[in-house]
């Protein structure tokens, strides 16, 4: 067993490695709320640049609040693949964004 000082140093080293490893992701710790975020906040999500952020803000201004991932699908530039990529970093009123299912339920087989 390691002495306490060596254990503590090992813990700090592992913690530093973890933060360096995850540090490449923008906004890795917080979800961006679609209904309250401004352009700068939206752009912290990898895959959302100026154009997509503006599209979200324009849609929100014309249609009101987002209620689900299906609403995001209505925004120009947000197809299934884009939503799958950016969705884990977005939320709606504090709830993580979940992509709408396009698959039939298992018990709905013909």
41 vs 100, more confident = 41
Quote the longest CA-to-CA distance of the chain. Answer: 65
pTM: 0.65
Q: State the burial class of residue 32 (Cβ atoms within 10 Å of its Cβ: 0-12, 13-18, 19+).
A: buried
pLDDT bucket at 4, cuts 50 / 70 / 90: confident
In 1-110, beta strands by DSSP E: 32-33, 90-92, 95-96
Average pLDDT, the chain: 81
Q: Give residue-wise pLDDT tens across range 49-86.
A: 999 999 999 999 999 999 988 999 999 999 999 999 99
């Amino acid at each position: 067993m390691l002495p306490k000082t060596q254990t503590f140093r090992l813990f700090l080293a592992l913690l530093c490695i973890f933060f360096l490893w995850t540090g490449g992701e923008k906004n890795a710790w917080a979800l961006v709320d679609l209904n309250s975020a401004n352009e700068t906040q939206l752009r912290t999500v990898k895959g959302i640049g100026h154009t997509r952020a503006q599209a979200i803000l324009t849609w929100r201004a014309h249609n009101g609040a987002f209620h689900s991932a299906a609403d995001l699908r209505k925004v120009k530039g947000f197809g299934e693949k884009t939503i799958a990529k950016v969705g884990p970093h977005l939320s709606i009123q504090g709830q993580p964004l979940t992509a709408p299912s396009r698959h039939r339920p298992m018990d709905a087989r013909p």
